Amino acid sequence: MTREYKYIRPADIERESMRIIEEEMGQHGIQVPEAHLPIVKRVIHTTADFDYGENLKFTADAVPRALEALAAGGGTFITDTNMALSGISKPGLARLSLEGICYMADPEIAAEAKEKGTTRADVSMRRGAREHPDGFFVSGNAPTALITLSELIRDGLRPSLVIGVPVGFVNVVESKEELFETCEAAGVPAIVAFGRKGGSNVAAAITNALLYTAADTLDPGKRTW
């Protein structure tokens, strides 16, 4: 059967999607603090999975503290995959004088990981901590990135934000729980997807929600880039 569709502008599609999401969150009985709502809605928009309304956890004042750091400009997002990096809005970064980087494909990272018998994610996070100790660390794939970040935070690292949303089955649940507890104890802002769900697309969605909020461009009509 052939169906007829009317043209809808991209901005209106996003607005209507967000309206539907918020409406259905209410139907599911999902209630989140106002500051968290843009992040939760964008993750649901990316995944069509309302479980994120329950499993996304935020340390105290994580969002306002992250927004304050973003507004200050000059920061760096360090991701554990190039996929997550590619999903982060480059105009959004540029508008706030921020940058994004991923070390995972760096031959030196691969060589060091092989030499030490560890993962590239582990080595990447350590390099990120050395070069950008107050950066925004974003993990959507590698539990070892979270394990390393937990260790580094216990040893004194104080990033501006940690986004911990790896997907998978091995060490995923445990590494997220450890990271959240470590960040809470150290006063480090963190956003973590508890359980097995997550992924690079979720990591990018959280990042973009924060960028759009900080730049006052949550409404797609304000994104002139």
Nearest CA among 100, 139, 185, 107 for reference residue 149 = 139
DSSP string, 78-98: EES-HHHHHHS-HHHHHHTT-
Which of left, alpha, beta for 73 (phi over 0: left; psi -120 to 50: alpha)?
left
7's tokens: 């043209």
Sequence-distant (6+) residues with CB within 8 A of 23 are none
Q: Considering 28, 36, 45, 132, which one is annotated as catalytic?
A: 45
- 132 catalytic? Reply is no
What are the residue numbers of the active site? 45
